[in-house]
Amino acid sequence: MAITAAQVKELREMTGAGMMDCKKALTECDGDIDKAVDFLREKGLASAAKKAGRIAAEGLVGSYISEDAKTGVIVEINCETDFVAKTDEFKELVNGIAAHVAATKPADNDTLLASELNGQTVADLITAKVAKIGENISLRRFALYETEGIVASYSHAGGKIVTMVEMKGGDAALAKDIAMQVAAANPGYLDRTEVPSAELEHEKQILTEQARNEGKPDNIIEKMVVGRIEKYYKEVCLVDQAFIKSDDGEAISKLLKKANAEVVRFVRFEMGEGLEKKNEDFAAEVAAQIKG
């Protein structure tokens, strides 16, 4: 009998197995969903399903920069434990997908997951790794830069923080230094024009109240707020920050001006930021098992 795409989709959602594996199982079982589930379980291909609900808050951020430094990619893939994240197999998966993004230039995660890599979709490749490694693995996000200028990346702590910078002018060494700056100083914006007006007004209100609470008179408060907003810019805007490798606190803007260079954009991925991490109490777990 003919197997429909809807049947394959349903079986895949039920088991977490790969698309082709689901189609084969349905074919072998004459379209019977329940039998196909058993077929996949017997083959060890449905083991990923039970792992899909686990929290994947560890992982790795990988990067790829083309030889001509015109294309750059950073990608975050999550797993459940730091142990797996440090394995060569997981690192190869992350770096392989980063290079694949550079080659195929997908628009979003769905496009990337549906694209073909080494004879199977990226989604099926990840599912196969889940079954083999025994942990939930998920593609979280990626960034792709293409430019006529220079792209550089910087990786900190073995892929826990990875940054990427696009720059006009300058050279690869300067771009790498700027990427390192982004990793260390974590700017929120490139320059002052990017700071949202609502955020700026909110900051001014807070600084005004701080000055009032310090007992300063109104004619002094305004000047204090102006000075403190300058300090705020130096914290959140990349070009206003002091260069981390400078002994005299030289601003990034001056460093770029001397090199006749301009930072176009940057991105910073910190592995697991914003994800809930599972808090494991192994002592309580053992005690519960003993009582059980």
- Residue 62 has which token pair? 């990988």
If pLDDT is split at 50, 70 and 90, which confidence band does 78 have? very high
pLDDT score of 292: 46
pLDDT score of 285: 45
Evaluate whether residue 225 is within a structural domain. yes
pLDDT score of 177: 97
**What spatial distance separates the first Cα and last Cα of the chain, rounded to whole Å?**
48
| Same domain membership, residue 174 and residue 80 | yes
Kindly report the CATH number assigned to the domain that includes residue 39. Answer: 1.10.8.10
Q: Is the dihedral of CA 22, 28, 33, 34 positive or negative?
A: negative
Question: Per mean pLDDT, which range of 74-78, 176-180, 258-262, 273-277 is the poorest?
Answer: 273-277
Q: Is the pLDDT of residue 124 over 50?
A: yes
Average pLDDT, the chain: 89
Q: Is the pLDDT of residue 6 over 90?
A: no
| Same domain membership, residue 153 and residue 85 | yes
- Residue 211 has which token pair? 């000055």
Task: Tell me the mean pLDDT in the region 163-176.
Answer: 97
| Same domain membership, residue 74 and residue 37 | no
Domain count, the chain: 3
Residue 211 structural domain: 192-258
**Residue 95 CB partners (closer than 8 Å, separation 6+):** 62, 63, 64
| Same domain membership, residue 196 and residue 181 | no
Give dist(CA 9, CA 18) in Å, integer: 10
Question: Per mean pLDDT, which range of 11-20, 100-109, 165-174, 191-200 is the poorest?
Answer: 11-20
Kindly report the CATH number assigned to the domain that includes residue 128. Answer: 3.30.479.20
If pLDDT is split at 50, 70 and 90, which confidence band does 281 have? very low
| Same domain membership, residue 110 and residue 62 | yes
pLDDT tens-digit profile of 213-269? Answer: 889 888 899 899 999 999 999 999 999 999 999 999 899 999 999 999 999 999 999
